[in-house]
Amino acid sequence: MAHKVAWGIDIGESAVKAVKLRRAGDSVTILEYRTIPCEAHGERAQLGDRELHVRNALAELQVETSLKGASLAVSLPGREVFPRFIPLPPVERKRIPEIVRYEARTQMPFPMEEVVWDYQPVTGLDVPGEEVEVAFFAAKKATVYGYLTNLRLAKLVPDLVEIGPLAAYNFLMYDRDITAGTVVIDVGAANTDLVIIDRERFWVRSVGISGNDITRALQEKYQISFEEAENLKRKAATSTQAEKLFGAVRPIVDDLLGEVQRSIGYYKTQTRQVRIERVLLLGRSFKLPQLVEYFRKNLDYEVTLLDRLERVKVATSADPEKFEAELPNYAVAVGLALQALRVARVNIDLLPRDLVRERLLRRKVPYAAAILLLLAAPLGISYQKATDEFRRATEDVAPLDQEINGYRKLLDAERQWSDLGPLGARLQLFGTLGTGRLEWLYFLDDLNTAVNTLAREPFRLNGIRLVSAEEAVGAIPRGDLGVVGAHAVEVKPGEGLKIEVRFEKDTPFTAKDIDELGRRLQARPFVRAVEGRGQADLTDPAGAGAPRRTPAAAGERAPTGQVYAFWVTYSSKPLAAKPGAEVAPPKAAPARATRPAPRPAPRGPSKRGDLTKVD
């Protein structure tokens, strides 16, 4: 049975936008809408986990609104989807799925087992003997499960997953009567989606030029932060310097116009008797008036900004005037909710089939149990038999859970080989550190600031690790400890994290070197104490801090030099500045001969003096 109320949630690069719709007969009304930022720019961007920002935004949405009892549709970015428009020969309707599956295997750049896909006939079904055109869309399973992970961690279970540009198409086709050829340009934060509407046909493409590129152009022009440039772009409509602002972003706009014109030209070569007459603009970037005028001047079509609703209504309690002012930002979210209410033109759904079956089974289990209990009374079925039937119904979910776990492992493996490498995989573990996890983020930011003030030579950051409470009091040896993030240590209020920070140098550390490094660490506002732990040969696995080094390959020179370790006690609250802070001397250790290491041959610029060496 179709839901009467639905939420459409558009998870974008910079914000989560949600719209609640209610259907009454042929009428659809907007009841609520929200925009919650989830961008990860600024001074702490290198430490920011976008997934964490998205989960926080979804949690905030659940606090501000109630999502229970409503159907839920979420978006997948167009850039993550592989689209194809496939012409099929005239065949019986029942054979279309078989032919589509064959065509998909021949045209798909990935194995079919690794993707989630769906299709929908576009033309030709109404006329027997006509060629049928099918719109085919696919996305990698690991990508889809990555987006769904944020929803599951926020305890949200979607009913469908739609592609962003198709959701915008569904909104426009429901809200207004589009009879002329129309190009929709939706400039988002991470990419631009193009949708060509040609009567009952449609065509989509994702372009890499985005609103963030426009913001970065303003940032470089005026030498300001990303946040300041974004704020400048948003207020451009009322700024007295709007003309100068547009001049700074014109090269980016010219590139975007070039992509639009190439896309229209390509579509015209693929389609007979197409006539484009209008261009419709969506997105927050078009709040710059000069940008809209520039599109009108350089495109030979009627160019308009989406600024009003025609068929969809807005409840009085939702402030209709305010919503229409922000309408270009909510087109995708409204389209998602319309599809969840089953009044959309296109019904592509990239929710993995195993999750669809799981959702259906979990919904049917209570009804199956109720039916069995009702049948047991008149038919004389024993209580034991009824419970056995219920148990078998619930056991059907177990194989699905195993398959889901397999896909999660696939997702984890792909994340570990992402651009961030092992550092990215370990940073994702910070969210599981329990009490004190935010202290890690502040500590790494402070450490990065301290290290960046050092010259790359002669000092280099060798690594960092967490010192457990047992090791701090000498209860266990260094060799029994794991790497950072391997396990959580409970930190009592008022105490703090104790971190071992290791530096390396081609020559032995002098007292002056140790004092300089210690003062750099002690000067950070959240550092409570710094304790020197001593130095050792760089290649000595039992030396200070026991740094981990990759063995030299055959024919290569083994690493040489010295390593010095500090134990830094870190507080979650900034401490008062202590001028002239001294570094605690290293604890007494058995005397051991340290011979100066030969200075290595000249080499290129070192890249180890930053946080990429964190193990």
Res 89: pLDDT: 83
Backbone angles phi, psi at 528, to 5 degrees: -90, -45
Residues 80 and 119 both lie in one domain: yes
d(CA 613, CA 608): 6
Res 589: pLDDT: 41
> SS3 of 2, please?
coil
CB 72 within 8 A of CB 257: no
Residues 93 and 190 both lie in one domain: no
- Helices first, then strands: H and E counts in the chain: 17, 18
Which pTM does this prediction carry?
Answer: 0.59
Residue 450 in any domain: the answer is no
Q: Inter-axis angle of helices 383-395 and 397-416, to 10 degrees? A: 20
Residue 596 in any domain: the answer is no
Residue of 207, 208, 206, 203 lying closest to 267 (CA atoms): 203
Residues 252 and 289 both lie in one domain: yes
Residue 330 in any domain: the answer is yes
pLDDT tens figures, 122-142: 876 666 667 888 999 999 999
Residue 68 in any domain: the answer is yes
> Which of 307, 332, 366 is at the close of a domain?
307
> Which of 246, 273, 307 is at the close of a domain?
307
Which DSSP symbol is given to 584? B
| Domain count along the chain | 2
Residues 167 and 274 both lie in one domain: no
Read out DSSP for 554-580?
A: TTSPPP-SEEEEEEEEE-SSPPPP-TT
Residues 114 and 139 both lie in one domain: yes
What CATH number does residue 156 fall under? Answer: 3.30.420.380
Residue of 176, 199, 198 lying closest to 307 (CA atoms): 176
In the chain, the amino acid numbered 110 is: F
Residues 244 and 338 both lie in one domain: no
d(CA 68, CA 461): 50
Res 2: pLDDT: 56
CB 439 within 8 A of CB 570: yes
> SS3 of 428, please?
helix
Res 46: pLDDT: 44
Backbone angles phi, psi at 101, to 5 degrees: -60, -40
Residue of 278, 116, 267, 248 lying closest to 205 (CA atoms): 267
Residue of 211, 213, 171 lying closest to 193 (CA atoms): 211
Res 165: pLDDT: 95
Residues 279 and 214 both lie in one domain: yes
Res 62: pLDDT: 92
pLDDT tens figures, 54-97: 889 999 999 999 998 899 999 999 999 999 988 888 888 888 88
- What is the sign, positive or negative, of the torsion defined by CA atoms of 225, 231, 233, 235? negative
List of E strands, 68-180? 71-76, 82-88, 115-123, 132-140, 160-163
Residue 316 in any domain: the answer is yes
pLDDT under 70: residue ranges of the chain: 1-3, 40-49, 124-129, 358-390, 392-398, 400, 413-441, 453, 455-457, 470, 473-495, 539-559, 572-615
Res 163: pLDDT: 95
Res 603: pLDDT: 43
Residues 261 and 146 both lie in one domain: no
Backbone angles phi, psi at 516, to 5 degrees: -65, -45
Res 232: pLDDT: 84
Res 339: pLDDT: 96
Residue 600 in any domain: the answer is no
Residue carrying the six token digits 């109630």: 66
Residues 256 and 109 both lie in one domain: no
Res 421: pLDDT: 52
Res 5: pLDDT: 95
Residue 572 in any domain: the answer is no
Residues 230 and 315 both lie in one domain: no
Q: Where are the alpha helices (DSSP H) in 241-318?
A: 242-270, 289-298
Residue 273 in any domain: the answer is yes
Domain that holds residue 170: 1-177+311-351
> Which of 285, 320, 351 is at the close of a domain?
351
In the chain, the amino acid numbered 177 is: D
Residues 85 and 204 both lie in one domain: no
Res 487: pLDDT: 39
d(CA 162, CA 385): 42
Res 532: pLDDT: 87
Residues 108 and 191 both lie in one domain: no
